């Protein structure tokens, strides 16, 4: 368990060096032990920067087990990507404290955070405050339904841009553009580009990235960190080439 700002600092350092990063998203509900072990083995060998764990709605109690497996099989930091305060586990290294700034649901802007705050403080987890934006990925996702919010339309880059700018001005430390897990279309490049140009915060992009080409495009448009979940559950062998496509987009080598 880390208690310093290790993960965020590392993320900033890699960004400063122009090193693009990749996170594998593990949905604890879908975990089949042998498959997870195989994915973790691939991740360990493929220069994966973080493993995100969480989901908009979980019906099984498997987060802790996932963290233990990640610990046993890799040296990759385990970062909680929680859908609710029920997904706080001190066994992880860090947690993304998501404020759903694309929506107008006060519970997900501040309400749940108030509930979670004392638990987070006690957990000793590194807390990384994150401006979370849902972008319409062509179909309703669990995230959009459960959050009871309207995602930003994919052709309204200016809304995403202004929202991210406001998030930065409010002091959030990361911006996460998410098409939602299993999105038909990943976050459009003009949206990524506009947000990239308008803020200097590290930019995470995920949702519907199901090929090395799409991952590469998102990086070229300005993403610093790509999150991939769904497709790796179906085709774990893609992990290596997706990682290579992201990392080969290195802008500055220092
Ligand atoms: C969802 O960004 C993540 O919150 C990953 O999405 O599962 O579609 O890769 P996928």
Mean pLDDT computed over 95-105: 98
Residue boundaries of the structural domains of the chain: 6-246
* DSSP tag of 92: S
The Cα 102–Cα 100 span in angstroms is 6
Give the mean pLDDT of 40-60. Answer: 96
Give the three-class secondary structure for 61: coil
Question: From residue 203, how far is each of 8, 103, 148, 222, 242 by CA, in Å?
Answer: 12, 18, 24, 8, 18
Cβ neighbours, 10 Å, residue 105? 13
pLDDT, tens digit, 9 for 90 and up, residues 193-239: 999 999 999 999 999 999 999 999 999 999 999 999 999 999 999 99
pLDDT computed for residue 249 by the predictor: 59
Give the least confident one: 58-62, 171-175, 212-216: 58-62
Per-residue confidence (pLDDT) for residue 225, from 0 to 100:
98
Whether the CB of 227 sits within 6 Å of ligand 1: yes
Local confidence band at 3 (pLDDT 50, 70, 90 cut-offs): very low
Third-level CATH fold of 6-246: TIM Barrel (3.20.20)
Q: What residues does 131 pair with on adjacent strands?
A: 99, 175
Alpha carbons 247 and 249: distance in angstroms, whole number: 5
Distance 40 CA to ligand 1 centre (A): 17
The whole-angstrom distance between residue 248's C-alpha and the CA centroid of its chain comes to 20
How far apart CA 168 and CA 117 sit, in angstroms, is 21
pLDDT at position 31, please?
87
Q: What is the mean pLDDT of residues 186-190?
A: 98
**Cβ(36) – ligand 1 distance below 6 Å:** no
Pocket test for ligand 1, best of 82, 98, 207 (most atoms within 8 A of CB): 207
């Amino acid at each position: 368990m880390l208690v310093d700002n290790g993960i965020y600092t590392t993320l900033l350092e890699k960004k400063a060096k122009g090193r693009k990063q990749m996170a594998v998203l593990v949905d604890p509900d879908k975990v089949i032990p042998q498959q997870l072990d195989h994915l973790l083995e691939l991740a360990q060998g493929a220069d994966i920067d973080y493993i995100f764990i969480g989901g908009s709605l979980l019906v099984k109690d498997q987060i802790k087990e996932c963290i233990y497996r990640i610990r046993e099989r890799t040296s990759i930091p385990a970062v909680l990507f929680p859908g609710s305060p029920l997904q706080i586990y001190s066994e992880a290294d860090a947690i993304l404290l998501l404020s759903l700034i694309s929506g107008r649901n006060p519970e997900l802007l501040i309400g749940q955070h108030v509930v979670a705050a004392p638990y987070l403080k006690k957990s000793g987890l590194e807390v990384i405050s994150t401006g979370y934006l849902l972008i319409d990925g062509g179909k309703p996702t669990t995230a959009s339904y459960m959050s009871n919010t309207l995602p930003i339309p994919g052709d309204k880059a200016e809304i995403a841009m202004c929202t991210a700018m406001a998030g930065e001005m409010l002091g959030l430390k990361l911006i996460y553009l998410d098409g939602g897990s299993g999105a038909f279309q990943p976050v459009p490049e003009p949206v990524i580009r506009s947000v990239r140009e308008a803020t200097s915060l590290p930019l995470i992009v995920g949702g519907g990235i199901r090929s090395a080409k799409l991952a590469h495009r998102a990086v070229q448009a300005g993403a610093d960190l790509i999150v991939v979940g769904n497709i790796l559950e179906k085709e774990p062998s893609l992990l290596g080439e997706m990682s290579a496509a992201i990392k080969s987009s290195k802008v500055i080598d220092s």
